[in-house]
Chains A and B, each alone.
Chain A
Amino acid sequence: MSLKTSDTGRIKKPSDLAMPLFEDLWSPIRLTLALASITTFLLLIVGTPIAWWLARSNAPWKEAVAAVLSLPLVLPPTVLGFYLLLALGPNGPGGWIGGFFGLRTLAFTFEALVIGSVLYSMPFVVQPIRNAFEAFGDRPLEVAATLGATSWDAFWTVAIPLARPGFMTGAVLGFAHTVGEFGVVLMIGGNIPNRTKVLSVAVYDYVESLQWAQAHILAAGMLVFSFVVILSMTLLEKRIARPGR
C-alpha cells in the first residue's frame, strides 16, 4: 500500500512523497503555535484583571461571573462552538464587526479561532492566577500600603511578583489547552489549510483520509509535547514552592 511506502520513506531516505508531506505537516504546526501563543498572550492581558477582580472583590455576584467564565470546563466544545458560530456569523455581532473590514462573516477565519480559543481557554488561565492572588492574602498589600505604595504600585511590585507561579501555571495551561483544542475549532474554523487547519484538526483529517503516517507524526509529537508540558510544570511548581515563604 502507498501508506507503507510513505511510512518507510519518511524514516529511511526522502522519497518523492516526503517533501509535500513535510510541507503539509508544517502548516498546521505553525498555525497551532501561532494560535496558542496569541491566545496565551491575550489571555494573560485580559485574564489578569479578571482574576484580580475575582480574587479581591466583595461583590456578591462575582461567583456567578466566575461560573460563567468556567463554563468551558464542562460545556461540550461543540456547544460553545455552535454559539460562537452564531455570534461570529453574518447575522451575529461578528458579522457586523466583520462588515467594517469588508468581510461577510468572522467565522472560518484565524481571528475567529483566536476569539474562540480565548473564551475556551479562559478558565485555565484565570483560575491559577486568581488562586495565586488569593493565596497571599491581604497582608502583603497592606504592608505595601504602609510603606507608601499606591494600589497600582503595589499591584505591579508586590501582587504580580508574588503571583508569578500562578502566571506560569496559567500560561502553560492556557497554551497547552489551546494546542489541544478541537471541537470549537472545527465548529467555527472549519478546516481551511493554512488558515484554520490546526494540528488537532489535521490529525483528524489524516486519519479520516487514511494518511496514517502523517497522523502518526503529529499524534506522537503531541504526545511528547503534552508529556513535556506536564512534567516541566510539575518540576517548575516544585522549584518555586521550595524556598521558604
Chain B
Amino acid sequence: MNSAEATISVRYSGVLGDFKLDVAFEAPMRGITALFGPSGCGKTTILRCVAGLNHLPGHLVVGGDVWQDAASGRSLEPHERSVGYVFQEASLFPHLSVRGNLLYGQRRALKKGVPERFQVNEIVELLSIGHLLDRATGELSGGERQRVALGRAFLTQPRLFLMDEPLSALDRITKEEILPYFEALRASTSVPTLYVSHDISEVERLADHMVLLESGQLVAAGPLNGLLADPRLPLARSAEAATVLEVRIGHYSIEEGLTVLDAGGESLLIPRWIGQQGGTDRVRVAATDVSLAVDRPSKTTILNVVPVRVKDIHVLDNAQINVLVTIGHRQGGPMLLARITRRAQRVLGFEPGQDVYAQIKAVSLIGSSRQPGPAPGHAEMI
C-alpha cells in the first residue's frame, strides 16, 4: 500500500454562506481522527463536505480514490460516497422500524456490489440492539437511538466513518453507556473515522489522530499525543493539560490488588483489576499530576516513578512551566507532560536531554477497561 492509499487527503478553500473555510490536512486511513475545535470552527462543515452534503472548492482523496477533484471540478454525489455518517441527533427514519433503518443503507450498498464487511447479526450483537429490531424508532431512548444510528452507518459497509458529535446530544450517563460501544467498534474495525468533537475528554478517550481547527483555519494536525503535548498549542497551556498513554495490561497481583501496565517499556501500577493480561488500554495523565525529581526518589508514597528524558521546557506564566519528557532513559519514548513551578526549575535546572524521574500521582484509565454504565469516577491511585 503506497502512501496515497493510506491517507485521507482533505483540502477545502471557499465560502459557504458567510463562513470562510480554508484548510488542508491529511489523516491516516485507519483509526479515529478527531476534528477538534470550538463551535463555529468549521469542523462540521468539513465533515459535511467530505460526505458531499455541502460543496466547497477543493480536493478530496480517500484511500487513493478521488472523491472531489480540484483540477476538473468533478465531485462524487453524496450517494456515491461510501461513508457511514452518524449525525449529532440519531436522525432515524420515523416511518421505518429499527430493522428498516438498519437495512436501508445495507440493501443499497449490497446492490452496488460493495463487499459485506459487516454482517447484520454481528453488528446487532455488538451494539446490543437485537431486542429493538421490531420497535418503532419513536419508542427508543436517546442511547438506543444513537446505537441504531451507529449500526445503520456500519451496515452501509463504508470505507470511511464520519461522526458529527454523535454523543453531544446525550446526557452524561447515556454518554458513558454509549462510549464503550464506540471503543468496541474502533477495536473491531479497520475502517477509518473522522470524528467531530468539541469535547477534549472524548477526543482523549477515542482519537488516535487529531486535527485542530479554529475559525475555519487549520491550527495543527498530527498524532493525538503530539498535539496534546505541543507547547505552541493552547491544549498544553491550559489548566487541564494532559497526555494519554497507550498501555498494555500486565500481571495482576491478588495480594496487593495492583495491576501492572506497560507504557513504553516502563511499568505503571494501578490499584485494581482492569482486564485480561495482554489487552491494551489507554490512560490519561494530567500534567499537574506529574512531578519531576533529579534522582530516583526512594522514600515516597507515590508508586509510579518512571525514568524519563527531558525533551523540552516551556514557560507558561510567571509561576509555572511545562516540561515535556519522554518515558525511559532513551530516545523516542511516549510523551508525558509535567507542570512544575519556575521556582523548582530555578533550583533544579532541568535541561533538554537530561535523564530524570517522573513521579505520577494519578493515572486515569480512560479506555475500554472502564466499566460501562454510570462512571464511578476515574480509577485513581495515590
Residue positions of A touching B, CB distance < 8 A: 139-140, 142-150, 153, 157-158, 161-162, 164, 243-245
A145 to B85, CA, bound (A): 10
A46 to B84, CA, bound (A): 36
- Chain B residues touching A, majority SS: mixed
Of A142, A148, A162, A164, the residue contacting B112 (CB under 8 A) is A148
> Would A244 and B156 count as touching, CB distance under 8 A?
no
Residue positions of B touching A, CB distance < 8 A: 51-53, 77-79, 81, 83-85, 87, 89, 91, 93-95, 104-105, 108-109, 112, 136, 138-139, 152, 156, 162
A243 to B84, CA, bound (A): 27
> Would A142 and B138 count as touching, CB distance under 8 A?
no
CB-CB under 8 A from B138, the residues of chain A are 243-245
> Would B94 and A142 count as touching, CB distance under 8 A?
no
Interface CB pairs A-B, < 8 A, 29:
A139-B91, A140-B93, A142-B53, A144-B93, A145-B77, A145-B78, A146-B51, A146-B78, A146-B81, A146-B83, A146-B105, A146-B162, A147-B79, A147-B105, A148-B105, A148-B156, A149-B104, A149-B108, A150-B77, A150-B79, A153-B79, A153-B108, A161-B95, A162-B93, A162-B94, A243-B138, A244-B94, A244-B139, A245-B94
> Would B93 and A158 count as touching, CB distance under 8 A?
yes
Of A147, A149, A164, the residue contacting B152 (CB under 8 A) is A147
CB of B136 to closest CB in A, whole Å: 6
CB-CB under 8 A from B91, the residues of chain A are 139-140, 143
User: Which 3 A-B residue pairs are closest in the complex by CB-CB distance?
Assistant: A244-B138, A147-B105, A145-B78
CB-CB under 8 A from B93, the residues of chain A are 140, 143-144, 158, 162
Closest to A243 in B: B138
CB of A199 to closest CB in B, whole Å: 37
Say yes or no: A243-B78 contact (C-beta < 8 A), given A146-B156, A147-B105, A148-B112.
no
A227 to B152, CA, bound (A): 45
A158 to B105, CA, bound (A): 12
CB of B376 to closest CB in A, whole Å: 33
Closest to B110 in A: A148
CB of B87 to closest CB in A, whole Å: 7
> Would A148 and B85 count as touching, CB distance under 8 A?
no
